[in-house]
Each structure stands twice: as C-alpha cells, then as structure tokens.
Amino acid sequence: GAGSGSGTAVITRSKSQTQRPSMYRVLLLNDDYTPMEFVVGVLCTFFHKTLEDAERIMWQVHTNGVGECGVYTYEVADTKVTQVMDHARKHQHPLQCVMEKK
C-alpha cells in the first residue's frame, strides 16, 4: 500500500480477481451410424454454427474421428455435452459428445 513516507502508492489486486476461468473443448466423435444431416443439425442448433461451418466440422469428424464444436467455460461445456447426448439418445443415434480441458 502507500507506505508511510515512501511517497509511493502501490495498487494491489488479489490474484482471484484477475484469474480467467479454465476453458474446455467440446468434441464430437465419429461413429458409423449417426446420419451426417443429424450431426450438421446438432452443430447448427446447439453450437450456433452456420450451415457451412457445421458441414465442414461434420466432415472433419467423419474423416479424422474427432472434431471441435467450440471452447467454453466448464458449466457451459458440460451443459452442451448433456444437451447433445440427450438429443442423440432421443433419436436413437450413437453419437458421442465429450469435453476436455484445453
């Protein structure tokens, strides 16, 4: 702080005030059965992708086995994983959605 007689004011800020939250990647995994259009729909509906981006990500997952839907704080990432898994189960598709710490 401002020490007696130092003539210097020191601004102190606690670490927690400036610490950014950990970020989490939400990933889609490929499988042999989920229709491509269903995956594109998931990316548009739950991750707010344009049709063009959704199609690019879907093909990336189809080709590489895995692809990134977005990067979010823990609570948002966890909610999206749950929403996608519930949606896939409801339509009886084996689509898998997971999150990983960046």
Give me the residues that bind ligand TYC (CB under 6 A), please.
28-32, 34-36, 39, 58, 61-62, 95
Q: Shortest Cβ distance from residue 73 to ligand TYC (Å)?
A: 23
Choose between 4 and 33: whose C-beta lies nearer to ligand TYC.
33
Q: Shortest Cβ distance from residue 94 to ligand TYC (Å)?
A: 8
Q: Using CB atoms within 10 Å of the CB of residue 53, give its burial: 0 to 12 exposed, 13 to 18 middle, 19+ buried.
A: middle
Q: Shortest Cβ distance from residue 81 to ligand TYC (Å)?
A: 13
- Quick check: helix, strand or coil at residue 84? helix
The answer to whether the CB of 80 falls within 8 A of the CB of 70 is yes
Choose between 68 and 78: whose C-beta lies nearer to ligand TYC.
68
Q: Please state, in angstroms and rounded to a whole number, the distance separating the CA atoms of residues 25 and 44.
A: 17
